[in-house]
Chains A and B, each alone.
Chain A
Amino acid sequence: MATQKEAYDIAVIGGGNAALCAAMTAAEAGARVLILETAPKPYRGGNSRHTRNFRCMHGAPLGPLIEEYSEDEYLEDLLKVTGGKTDEHLARLAIRTSEECLPWMEEHGVRFQPSLSGTLSLARTNAFFMGGGKSLVNAYYRTAAGLGVDVLYEAAVTHLELNGDRIEWVDYTYAGRSHRITPKAVIVASGGFQADTDWLTRAWGEPAKNFLIRGTPYNRGVVLADLLDQGVESVGDPTQCHAVAIDGRAPKFDGGIVTRLDCVPFSIVVNKNAERFYDEGEDVWPKRYAIWGRLVAAQPSQVGYVIIDAKSLNLFMPSVFPPLKADTLEDLAGMMDLPADKLKATVAEFNEACGDTSGFHPTELDGVTTSGLTPPKTNWARPISEPPFYGYSLRTGVTFTYLGLKVDDTAQCSTPSGKIKNLWAAGETMAGSILGQGYLAGFGMTIGTVFGRIAGREAAAYAN
């Protein structure tokens, strides 16, 4: 085993937003920092590559953000999605600190742009990165390099040696060889375990094998598992993951934003037996996006089929793959491998149950509902009658896992017997402390930025 010649004060494990914020902050405090990124350079940045905005508290218009977004309103929004499964102290810390982060991000190379088309509802709360998360990651790598931070790509950390209350060394493989370094402090920012299908299957059950992973294939939870095995304290439900319903033709990994489908409210959704299973019009899609991941996961073969007709095609954001298209429902059923007679019967039954559609309004809860149908469709219920008919398949797409490292308000990790003196965690790998369930758009980047900076500051103070 080779020993690193160069003496680093701090090893940062991971190469996404939280890791970079930690590395830059520590380097600015005078520490010598090494980033160990398991992905190759084109895939550096973990799930941050796929992000697009940063949810930010502000008392007055700030950068691209309009009006104001108070700490209490932000917290309220968070509690709504987590159902109270939130450490309020840490949540308020993240929220309160977010305001000073935005100018800090700009100083470190991030550029913002006005809210993207189709996302106007976020113009007040979320600051969009120009070019998206990968451009943020690129800017941070450039700034970090300027600060003297060293980066190793395809450097896979295999083990952190925990001895009592300190990490003694870090083992990793690089360029086909094993290496060991003994930094004074370690920051773990290497995400969750959702890309390890076996682990996901153990946690969730057999259906997880059919799940797609929306983000990086490199979040395999190796370091997380290593630390948990050594008794480092954890947080978050180990069996749960955040999942949404995405285009069934998406790649197994890394499909990212483009695989989302916004057509469900204007459709009926059936399973592989051509049976409906849930109210497609329960609420506006952004609010229902997440529950459909679970709904589809509960169906046979973990797949759903969306059926719309010609009059609804232009009511939602364009999809990355064109929909299947047929002049008759039989043909569409054939293309989707659905039982044609059953699909026709399901559609006929649904159409029968539709009533007055004159109040139809695509962007509001319009109360255009079915009557006497189980399950009902409680909004936007218009008959599927106008050819050509279009179809999409839906699968469960996993965004992230909740299990992580428990940290305090200095981002420090601990064991049951007390704090680990030289171990900090930031980003997705500790987000379970704050996001016990659900998700709030742009909050992952807030947690990563806030706790990345805290971890960098604390680790540098310890190392210096």
Chain B
Amino acid sequence: MQTDLIQEARRQAEVCNACRYCEGYCSVFPSLHAERAFSDGDITQLANLCHNCRGCHYACQYTAPHEFDLNLPKALAEVRRDSWESFAWPQPLARRFHTHGGAIALALVIGFALLFWAIRAIGSSGGEGFYAVLSHNAMVAIFAPAFLLPLFSLAISLRRYWTEVGGKPIQMSDLTAAFKRAGKMQDLAAGHGEGCNFEDEDRFSHARRHVHHAIMYGFLLCFASTSVATIMHYGFDHHAPYGFWSLPKLFGVLGGVLLTLGCCAMVLLKQKSDRNLGDVSAWGGDIGFILLLGFVALSGLVLYAFGWSAIMPVLLAVHLGSVLALFFLTPYTKMAHGFYRLAALVRDAQRKREASVVRQQPTSPA
């Protein structure tokens, strides 16, 4: 990892540790205040706990032009991105996409091309609906590895992360605590529950949290749609296409709408935010990624809407091509952040558990 980024974040964390005014905002500060000195792993953990809500920045009496020049959301965002790049596997792909929206677009085009090629070269082996364009087996042959390989890659990355931050064996309660926090996106709500400072300087608002919810739950619904369909296909021999009042379609349509709207709104919100309070170099990659995610959702909806028409094969290729690109890029784009956040929250739950055990022990006479 880049030592200059870590060193700058450490310098700032030391000022925060002597101040402590922001303790009530999010998970970062109680965790920060529990240390006297910060190892590289501590800084990496703090960086991944930070949700860039910016509450601390607007509340800080040491921001520029003060000579202490604190900008903790930015410093942590830079360490965070660097940590994702450093832990990514395989390394040649690690630093290509976070900072390059163009590379994401290129991957998307390659995804389209692969699908058009597959449809032309493999085609259908009979079947209804989409399977009349590309056979089920061909889809599985393409998407099973496209789904599993990124997961494998992420597993390697998270293992590296876990080692770096000194993670311990995970207990069920750590997971429950972490999923609860992530599910409510509590760290974007601030301690007072009024949201974060994003689109209008120091005004607290839930806009970003709600938009993020739309994206996260939209994505999870789409994922659920595919999972349910897979179970129906293999478990119950009930093959696509499914009617509207089926689980895959209900999940998929609702998820697609949420995801599309969420991604559009997130891009708009980001345009209004102060770029200098985040990782400036990742701006293009972040926007590129959100657009890709939104495109996956929108193209899925369009495919559903026009599945009856003559242009369906083209729509199918475009949608599946974007899905392929999204899957493939998961370990190397902002998509990875969800996994790291969760890992950081699990680690933080462990820290709190350890701290409460220490507190319960009788204090020894000095």
Contact = CB atoms under 8 A, between A and B. Distances in A.
B194 interface: yes
B20 A116 contact: yes
Interface string B4-42: 000000000011011111111100001001001000000
B202 interface: yes
Given A135-B59, A258-B15, A117 B192 contact: no
Given A113-B24, A142-B202, A42 B63 contact: yes
Nearest to A252: B67
Interface in B26-75: 30, 33, 36, 55-56, 58-68
B117 to A, nearest CB: 55
A118 interface: yes
Contact of A130 (B25, B65, B202): B25
A139 B203 CA distance: 8
B61 A132 contact: yes
B20 A118 contact: yes
Given A111-B192, A256-B62, A360 B366 contact: yes
Given A42-B63, A138-B58, A142-B202, A131 B20 contact: no
A257 B23 CA distance: 14
A52 interface: yes
B191 interface: yes
Interface in A232-266: 251, 254, 256-260
A142 B66 CA distance: 22
Nearest to A361: B366
Q: Which of A49, A129, A318, A322 has the most CB of B within 10 A?
A: A318
A114 B24 contact: yes
Contact of B191 (A42, A52, A130): A130
B17 A318 contact: yes
Nearest to A141: B202
Given A117-B33, A360-B366, A257 B18 contact: yes
Contacts of A320: 14-15, 18-19
B14 A318 contact: yes
Contacts of B68: 258
A117 B23 contact: yes
Nearest to A320: B18
Main secondary structure of the interface of B (DSSP, over half): loop
Contacts of B62: 256, 258
Nearest to B19: A258
B67 A251 contact: yes
Contacts of B64: 42
A111 B203 contact: no
Contacts of B23: 113, 116-117
Nearest to A216: B61
A387 interface: no
Interface string B134-157: 000000000000000000000000
Contact of B59 (A131, A142, A260, A362): A131
Given A116-B23, A251-B67, A132 B17 contact: no
A113 B17 CA distance: 17
A291 interface: no
A319 B18 contact: yes
Contacts of A251: 67
A113 B60 CA distance: 16
A318 B191 contact: no
Nearest to B56: A131
Nearest to B194: A111
A257 B19 contact: yes
A299 to B, nearest CB: 24
17 contacts: A42-B64, A43-B65, A111-B192, A113-B192, A116-B21, A117-B33, A130-B190, A131-B22, A133-B21, A134-B59, A134-B60, A139-B202, A142-B203, A254-B61, A258-B68, A314-B36, A318-B18
Given A42-B65, A256-B19, 13 more contacts: A49-B61, A111-B191, A130-B25, A130-B59, A132-B59, A134-B60, A135-B55, A135-B58, A256-B62, A257-B21, A318-B17, A318-B36, A322-B14
